[in-house]
Amino acid sequence: MNTSDRHLRFGWWSLFTFLALGLGLEILHGFKLGWYLDVGNETRRLMFTLAHSHGTLLALVNLAAGLTARSVKGFALPDTASHALMWGAILMPVGFFLGGVVIHDGDPGLGIALAPAGALLLLYGVFGAARAFGRVPAER
């Protein structure tokens, strides 16, 4: 599978997953579950909201990477940057989500440690994409 197809497939499935998570959050609101809505669970709500929003946004980033790889002649996203974009798009939202599953006196759980690792991978992936795009010859 080429880079473009890999990012498009990953992006669409990620978008589905994180939009479904958003629907799940709406269901938790609808049923007024205290585990989610009580004042003492503010951190959980924040972590789950961050997981949903970051996952959705990063799915769109991967779709953009796939479309760029497909439509820009001469653009070659390095494999390391490609994998970093995808792993970062997994680790960051999963870290937020796991950080909200178990909270400790208003602090997120240990799963939150995955979020900064994901952020670093995303930074590397976006840098690799920008650098690769800078090497694309200008059309005359």
Model pLDDT for residues 23-59, shown as the tens digit of each residue: 999 999 999 999 999 999 999 999 999 999 999 999 9
Distance CA 96, CA 112 (A): 5
Region for residue 97 given its phi and psi (left: phi exceeds 0; alpha: psi -120 to 50; beta: otherwise): alpha
Q: What is the pTM of this model?
A: 0.94
Percent of the chain past pLDDT 90, that is, above it, reads 94
Is residue 140 predicted with pLDDT exceeding 70? no
Is residue 137 predicted with pLDDT exceeding 90? no
DSSP 131: H
Confidence at 63, pLDDT banded by 50, 70, 90: very high
User: For residue 95, which of 110, 75, 83 has the smallest C-alpha distance?
Assistant: 110
Summary mean pLDDT of the chain: 96
Q: Scanning the structure block, which residue is given the tokens 């990953």?
A: 10
Amino acid in the structure at residue 48: F
